[in-house]
Structure 1
Amino acid sequence: MIQNSVQNFTPSNVDQKRSISIGKVLLSTVAGLTAIGGFLADWNRTHLFNPNWPPHAKFHDAWTISVGSLLGCSGLYYLLRNSSRPQEDLHIGTMLPAIFWITQGISFTFPGAKGLESEFPDLVPRVKGVWINEMFASAGILAITGTGYALERSRLSKTH
Structure 2
Amino acid sequence: MSSRRFPIGKVLMSASALGTVIGPFVADFNETHIFNEKWMPHAKFHTAQTMSMGVALGLATLDNLWRPRPSRTALDSAAVTASVYHVSQLTAGLYPGTATVDPPGKDNWPQLWTTLPTLGLVGLGYLLERRRVEKPSA
Q: TM-score range by the shorter chain?
A: 0.7 to 0.9
Please point out which of 108, 121, 124 is paired with 1:131.
Answer: 108
Q: Give the Å deviation of 1:80.
A: 1.0
Q: Give the Å deviation of 1:119.
A: 2.8
Q: Give the Å deviation of 1:107.
A: 0.4
Indicate the SS of the match to 1:131: coil
Report the CA distance shift for 1:95/1:58 in structure 2 as closer, same or farther (over 3 A).
Answer: same
Q: Are residue 33 (structure 1) and residue 13 (structure 2) matched?
A: no
> What count of residue pairs does the alignment treat as equivalent?
135
Percent identity over the alignment is 35
Instruction: Give the aligned partner of residue 12 of structure 1.
Output: none
Instruction: Give the aligned partner of residue 127 of structure 2.
Output: 150
Indicate the SS of the match to 2:65: helix
Q: Which amino acid in structure 2 is aligned with residue 32 of structure 1?
A: L
Decide which structure has greater helix share: 1
Instruction: Give the aligned partner of residue 53 of structure 2.
Output: 67
Kept in 2, the 8 Å contact 1:104–1:135? The answer is: no
Counterparts of 1:65 and 1:132, CA distance in 2: 19
Q: Give the Å deviation of 1:78.
A: 0.8
Counterparts of 2:88 and 2:131, CA distance in 1: 27
Matched ranges for 1:14-53 at <5 A = 19-53=5-39
Indicate the SS of the match to 1:26: helix
Kept in 2, the 8 Å contact 1:68–1:97? The answer is: no
Instruction: Give the aligned partner of residue 75 of structure 2.
Output: 90
Kept in 1, the 8 Å contact 2:28–2:34? The answer is: yes
Following superposition, which runs of at least 4 residues in structure 1 exceed 4 angstroms of deviation?
Answer: none
TM norm structure 2: 0.87
Matched ranges for 1:111-122 at <5 A = 111-116=96-101, 118-119=102-103, 121=105
**Alpha-carbon RMSD:** 2.1
Q: Give the Å deviation of 1:155.
A: 1.6
Q: Give the Å deviation of 1:136.
A: 3.8
Q: Which structure has the bigger radius of gyration? A: 1
The higher relative CO (CA closer than 8 Å, separation ≥ 6) is in 2
Counterparts of 1:93 and 1:136, CA distance in 2: 22
Q: Give the Å deviation of 1:35.
A: 1.4
Q: Give the Å deviation of 1:159.
A: 3.2
